Amino acid sequence: MSSAEVVHPVTLRCSFCDTKNRVDMSRAAHRPACGGCSKPMLLDRPVTVTQDDFDATVLGASVPVLVDFYADWCGPCKMVAPLMDEIAQAAFRVLQFSKNSYSNDWPFADTILQPWGFPINM
Ligand SMILES: [Zn+2]
C-alpha cells in the first residue's frame, strides 16, 4: 500500500466554503485541509448534511456514521445537542458524525424514516 492511498474515504462538505472533499478518516488526527480554501476540515464536531449530500456523505462512507436527525423547534433535540457534540469529539477518528436538520421538504426523511418524534439518532 502506498502512503498516498486513501484507506477510509468519506465525502464531506467544508464548513467554511462548502467545497466537497474526499477525506481519509484514518488520517483524521492529522487535521486534513480543505482542497478549496485550505482551512482545516472540522472532523471533531458534527458535520451538517443536506439532502443533496446524504448519499455521498452518509451512505457512501467507509466508516460507521452516526446520523442525528433534529429539528430546530424540538426541545429534546436541544437538550441532547451537547451530548451529541461530546460524542462527535470523542469518536471522530472512528466515526463520522452527521447532523441533519429535519425538513418536510426532505422526502427521504419523511418516507424512509417516518419520524414519530425527535431527535432520531441512527
Ligand atoms: Zn473549504
The more confident residue out of 96 and 66 is 66
Q: Is residue 68's pLDDT more than 70?
A: yes
DSSP tag of 113 = I
* 3-state DSSP assignment of residue 85: helix
CA quadruple 55, 59, 63, 67: dihedral, nearest 10: 90
- Measuring CA to CA, which residue among 58, 64, 51 is closest to residue 94? 64
> Which listed residue (14, 34, 37, 77) is catalytic?
77
Percent of the chain with pLDDT over 90: 14
Domains of the chain: 9-121 (3.40.30.10)
Query: What is d(CA 46, CA 44) in angstroms, rounded to the nearest whole number?
Result: 7
In this prediction, residue 93 carries a pLDDT of 66
Q: Is 74 a catalytic residue?
A: yes
Question: For residue 71, what pLDDT band results from cuts at 50, 70 and 90?
Answer: confident
- C-alpha 10/C-alpha 89 separation (Å) is 17
- Find the 120 Cα to ligand 1 centroid distance in Å: 29
Looking at per-residue pLDDT, the higher value among 78 and 35 belongs to 35
Predicted TM-score (pTM) of this structure: 0.72
Mean pLDDT of the chain: 79
Q: Decide if pLDDT at 1 tops 60.
A: no
* CA 13 to ligand 1 center in whole angstroms: 8
What confidence category does residue 75 fall into, taking pLDDT thresholds of 50, 70 and 90?
A: confident
Residue 37 known to be catalytic: no
Q: Residue 22: pLDDT band by 50, 70, 90 thresholds? A: very high
Distance 41 CA to ligand 1 centre (A): 8
101 alpha carbon to ligand 1 midpoint, in Å? 21
Q: For residue 103, what is its C-alpha cell?
A: 425538513
